[in-house]
Amino acid sequence: MNDLKNELNSEDEIESSSSPQADVSQVVLQLTEAEGEEQAEVFSEILIDAEPGTIALLLESLPLDERYERWQQVDVEERVDVLNLMRADPRLGILKKMPDEELDLLFSQLSPEDLIEWSDSLPDNITDRALAQMGERQRKHFELYDQYTENEIGRYADHQMLALNPSSTVAQGQRFFRRIDLDCNDHLFLVDNNDKYLGTVRRYDVFKTVDTDTPLQALKWDDSRVISADSSLIEAAEAIEHSRELELPVVDEDGILIGRMTLRTATALVREHYEAQLMATAGMDEDDDLFAPIVVGAKRRAVWLGINLLTAFLASATIGMFENVLSQVVALAVLMPIVASMGGIAGSQSLTLMIRGMAMGQITAGNVMSLMKNELGIGALNGTLWAIVIGIIAGWWFDDTVMGIVIACAILINMAVAAIAGVMVPMILQRFNQDAALSGSVILTTVTDVVGFFTFLGLASILYL
């Protein structure tokens, strides 16, 4: 999952700032209204008090040419922090424009954890260049994190944590807690000389122990839980949510402690996951640049526009099969959008419920049929209700009882099919390793349009011709 630090830090930095820069929209307006030297002066004043997260948001708000000009004003020592808090596309755009000397200087300040997040969206040649600026130990750390995929928590586990040998004393544990200030730090992890995880000690137990010579092993918490490094991001987020702890250890398949999962990180993961789903429904990515080059932006959106066009042709072809009845009963053309719309809305409700359940790990082969029966029941009940209402209105509007019966039957059938499709489409897509959030709505709309038009016009053909 790209740019967790953006999710974790940038909003907090903006909200916690007491300066005028806290209102980013006003600063953006001030910056974009200025040009040339005036804009450079305004940005210089902003840089005096602005946090890296604020600077990142401001740079993302500028057109590409202006963005790089202002980037050159950012202090060299702050550049890594600012890039960490930018989305992937804007960050890559800046990196590609930087001269080799500046790029090497930047990479020499980069940590393996930072590079892991960046590498998800960097070309291999830039990642290799960054690795070349690191020491042997840092490269080994990068390889350790890089063995996990973008959807596994081992890749993004927080590697800053408190860990001691079980033979260490309470006094040493207290000293660690006092000297090292970490976010969501409520535990101390026990490891052997090979970093194998042995247990957890709570901060409360460390400080309540009177005999400071007591070994930490004696305070090991029996109810401690662990997260497997190959767990999915959402599974890891759920694990800490259900544990009611601020942090949990993350271990690899050999039991080696490689990091921790904090409640703060879990919250960011879930928020980013749903943001990605929201963007995916439009065929876009949450890391897309606001000012992406026109050609690049057009290519990204063209694919799903093309897919939508194909589905529209399919629906149109279905309508074309019933030209005869349409030419004789013009009222059918007026009522067709109602049938498609009711089916589409009903289906999208089931689809949204399914995607949420799948994301939270609540949908399995054992309960999918029960869920389908439940959704079908809801679709049939709502379908019956609205079929009666719309049938009466249509019959009265066109003074045609047959028309009311036709549209009522079509709506009932389409809403029932929509409920089934809303459950089955994401399950089928998951079976073929496709993102249901990305393509589910397109397929569902096609199903409800085709079934709705075919049912409505088919019944009309039987009763009118």
Contact 146, 153 (CB under 8 A): no
pLDDT number for residue 16: 41
In three-state secondary structure terms, 107 is helix
Mean pLDDT by 10 residues, the chain (465 residues): 46 41 67 82 87 86 85 92 87 91 92 85 90 88 85 84 89 89 86 91 91 91 87 84 86 90 79 62 53 67 74 87 87 90 90 78 77 91 94 92 93 94 88 73 88 93 87
Q: What pLDDT, on the 0 to 100 scale, is given for residue 426?
A: 87
Question: H/E element holding 432?
Answer: none
pLDDT at 7: 45
From the number of C-beta atoms within 10 Å of its C-beta (0-12, 13-18, 19+), residue 44 rates as exposed
Distance CA 291, CA 284 (A): 14
Q: Are 107 and 140 in contact (CB under 8 A)?
A: no
